[in-house]
């Protein structure tokens, strides 16, 4: 039997999703979502899920509400067991959730309500604006400034002016001057603090704080702030003196493969930056050597050491191991070497503590220190799980030192296609570009060369993770402005804060 879940997606920050909301959107067969659901939350939905974008933004509705109601009934009749109707904020706060609940109830369709954090409370909080405060506001009132006619709703403005506390208008960007004028005429002081809170809780958030009287110009256009709340009250003064996050207002390009980008993206966004995802490669198992992989995994006891040079190598190695019906115990005859902290963290997530890690995280140091520090490194061959496109520098250096190396190209790196205008817009708007691997650099340059856009890269500061990636940047005549002191995401973000913050 089908169940339709009316789910609140919260105000935009994926970390503000409720646990129940996350469970549902990552397991639903069908998701019907509004335009106010943030792209970061939509990205959490598995690619196998059927998606319906029904819009619902003022002036650009994809579907009218009766059409959405009909769609929910139609989808439920198809027999899908789990259908999520995903809404920005809370489904019962200016989101037509009550109407959709009644439609489902009348049609005899099972439903469940999953509340979400409404923007009226969360967005001001991200600017240090509490909607209540014992000293200045003992109440808050949420209103919608939208009406079917497009005119300002016929509120009792004198009652609102006398309420005190905090007024929070949803969907009021086109009515700012009218709201301000109406409240002043009803008795509010023109000096009352007021603010437009735009895209609250997201990296694009902004605050325009003034007095109520300064918002009364009917010629002023605030549509660029959409979606936004109009907040009025003394609590706005509490935002004065707040400390901005160090990367607030900065745009940083992330070129990591999409499934890996989240750690860097989240670290940048937690410091206030807007992370622009521009993955240049897509990783997949190397299906051409399945039989060879199976042979190597069944003969791991042959190897004295297994060398892991990246988190990707760890991920694909253990995925292959599990497909073969094996687990970490299969590595017990071998010793494990890791190129750096990120690779070590990936190994430890699999329950493996490496036996060797160099003091510097690049191929030359890896080979030199391994030969110097490890006793009897030549007894058995070494296994190097890697990308099919990875450079053979480490293998060559080890072989020159007398070690026998066998590379296992577990996965392939495929380039991702972009339109020229998309690339141009992303690179031209950014403050920095980050690169965490040589392959990401090579694929990005190849992509830009196709459209003759390499000059854009020369004008953009580049931050890299480690000397090997820096070498890839230099090979194109470019100079990385920033090299993370350590080959870790926190170190890279810390260096960006020091440079930009």
pLDDT at 219 over 70: yes
Cis peptide before 159 (omega within 30 of 0): no
Q: Catalytic annotation on 82? A: no
Mean pLDDT confidence for 272-296: 90
Of 118-122, 230-234, 380-384, least confident by mean pLDDT is 380-384
Highest mean pLDDT among 60-69, 134-143, 286-295, 406-415: 134-143
Please tell me the CATH superfamily of domain 119-236, with its number. Tetrapyrrole methylase, C-terminal domain (3.30.950.10)
For the chain, give the mean pLDDT: 92
pLDDT in tens, 446-482: 999 999 999 999 989 999 988 888 999 999 999 999 9
Which pLDDT score is estimated for 376? 63
Of 210-214, 222-226, 249-253, 395-399, least confident by mean pLDDT is 395-399
Residue pair 309/395 in contact by the 8 Å Cβ criterion: no
pLDDT at 12 over 90: yes
Mean pLDDT confidence for 5-9: 98
Mean pLDDT confidence for 268-297: 90
Which of 90, 101, 171, 251 is labelled catalytic?
171
Bigger pLDDT: 280 or 335?
A: 335
Which pLDDT score is estimated for 501? 75
Which pLDDT score is estimated for 340? 87
Mean pLDDT confidence for 359-384: 83
Mean pLDDT confidence for 182-191: 96
Which pLDDT score is estimated for 438? 84
Which pLDDT score is estimated for 234? 97
- Distance of CA 161 to CAs 35, 170, 186, 212, 233, Å? 32, 17, 6, 12, 11
Q: Catalytic annotation on 34? A: yes
Which pLDDT score is estimated for 56? 63
CA–CA distance, 87 with 114 (Å, rounded to integer)? 10
CA–CA distance, 495 with 487 (Å, rounded to integer)? 11
Q: What fold does the segment set 249-279+415-498 form as a domain?
A: Rossmann fold (3.40.50)
pLDDT in tens, 251-268: 999 998 777 778 899 999
Q: What fold does the segment set 294-365+377-399 form as a domain?
A: Rossmann fold (3.40.50)
Which pLDDT score is estimated for 257? 78
Which pLDDT score is estimated for 84? 98
8-state DSSP, 244: P
Residue 138 burial by Cβ neighbours in a 10 Å radius (0-12, 13-18, 19+)? exposed
Please state the domain extents for the chain.
Answer: 1-115, 119-236, 249-279+415-498, 294-365+377-399
Residue pair 333/301 in contact by the 8 Å Cβ criterion: yes
Strand, helix or coil for residue 311? helix
pLDDT at 378 over 70: no
Name the percent of the chain lying above pLDDT 90. 72
Q: What fold does the segment set 1-115 form as a domain?
A: Cobalt-precorrin-4 Transmethylase; domain 1 (3.40.1010)
pLDDT at 212 over 70: yes
Which pLDDT score is estimated for 363? 82
Bigger pLDDT: 32 or 148?
A: 32
- Distance of CA 234 to CAs 137, 188, 241, 260, Å? 7, 12, 15, 44
CA–CA distance, 177 with 194 (Å, rounded to integer)? 12
pLDDT in tens, 420-452: 999 999 999 999 999 988 888 988 999 999 999
Which pLDDT score is estimated for 61? 57
Which of 34, 87, 101, 342 is labelled catalytic?
34
pLDDT at 387 over 90: no
CA–CA distance, 441 with 474 (Å, rounded to integer)? 10
Q: Identify the helix (H) or strand (E) that includes residue 124.
A: helix 119-125
Q: What is the pTM of this model?
A: 0.79
Q: Identify the helix (H) or strand (E) that includes residue 274.
A: strand 274-277
Q: Angle, to 10 degrees, between the axis of helix 97-106 and the axis of helix 65-77?
A: 40
Which pLDDT score is estimated for 37? 96
Encoding tokens for residue 82?
A: 């789990």
Domains 249-279+415-498 and 294-365+377-399 share a fold: yes
Encoding tokens for residue 38?
A: 């943030």
Strand, helix or coil for residue 306? strand
Name the percent of the chain lying above pLDDT 70. 98
Helices marked H in 290-376: 290-298, 311-323, 341-349, 363-373
Encoding tokens for residue 255?
A: 């070129």
Q: Catalytic annotation on 56? A: yes
pLDDT at 375 over 90: no
Encoding tokens for residue 463?
A: 């931050």
pLDDT at 147 over 80: no
């Amino acid at each position: 039997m089908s169940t339709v879940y009316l789910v609140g997606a919260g105000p935009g920050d994926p970390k503000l999703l409720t646990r129940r909301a996350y469970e549902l959107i990552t397991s639903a067969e069908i998701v019907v979502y509004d335009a106010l659901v943030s792209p970061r939350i939509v990205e959490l939905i598995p690619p196998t899920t059927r998606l319906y974008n029904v819009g619902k933004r003022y002036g650009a509705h994809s579907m009218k509400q009766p059409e959405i109601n009909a769609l929910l009934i139609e989808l439920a009749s198809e027999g899908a067991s789990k259908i999520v109707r995903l809404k920005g904020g809370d489904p019962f706060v200016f989101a037509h959730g009550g109407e959709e609940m009644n439609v489902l109830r009348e049609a005899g369709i099972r439903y469940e309500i999953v509340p979400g954090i409404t923007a009226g409370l969360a967005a001001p909080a991200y600017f240090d604006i509490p909607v209540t405060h014992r000293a200045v506001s003992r109440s808050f009132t949420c209103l919608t400034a939208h009406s079917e006619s497009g005119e300002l709703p016929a509120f009792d403005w004198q009652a609102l002016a006398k309420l005190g506390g905090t007024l929070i208008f949803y969907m009021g960007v086109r009515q700012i001057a009218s709201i301000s004028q109406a409240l002043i005429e009803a008795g509010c002081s023109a000096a009352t603090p007021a603010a437009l809170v735009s895209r609250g809780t997201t990296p694009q958030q902004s605050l325009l704080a003034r007095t109520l009287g300064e918002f009364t110009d009917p010629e002023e256009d605030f549509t660029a702030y959409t979606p936004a709340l109009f907040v009025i009250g003394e609590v706005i003064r509490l935002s004065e003196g707040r400390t901005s996050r160090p990367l607030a207002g900065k745009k940083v390009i992330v070129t990591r493969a999409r499934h890996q980008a989240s750690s860097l993206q989240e670290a940048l966004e937690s410091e206030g930056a807007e992370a622009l995802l521009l993955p240049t490669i897509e990783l997949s198992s190397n299906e051409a050597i399945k039989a060879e992989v199976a042979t190597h995994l069944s003969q791991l006891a042959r190897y004295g050491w297994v060398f892991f040079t990246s988190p990707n190598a760890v991920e694909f190695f253990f995925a292959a191991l599990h497909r073969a019906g094996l687990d970490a115990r299969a590595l017990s005859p071998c010793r494990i070497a890791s190129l750096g902290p990120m690779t070590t963290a990936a190994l430890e997530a699999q329950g493996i503590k490496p036996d060797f890690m160099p003091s510097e995280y690049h191929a030359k140091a890896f080979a030199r220190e391994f030969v110097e520090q490890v006793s009897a490194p030549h007894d058995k061959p070494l296994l190097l799980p890697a990308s099919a496109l990875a450079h053979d520098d480490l293998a060559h250096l080890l072989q020159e030192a007398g070690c026998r190396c066998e590379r296992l190209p577990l996965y392939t790196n495929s380039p991702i296609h972009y339109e020229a205008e998309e690339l141009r817009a992303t690179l031209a708007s950014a403050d920095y570009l980050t690169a965490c691997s040589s392959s990401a650099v090579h694929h990005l340059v190849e992509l830009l060369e196709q459209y003759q856009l390499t000059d854009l890269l020369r004008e953009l500061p580049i931050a890299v993770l480690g000397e090997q990636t820096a070498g890839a940047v230099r090979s194109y005549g470019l100079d990385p402005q920033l090299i993370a002191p350590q080959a870790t995401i926190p170190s890279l973000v810390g260096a960006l804060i020091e440079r930009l913050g």
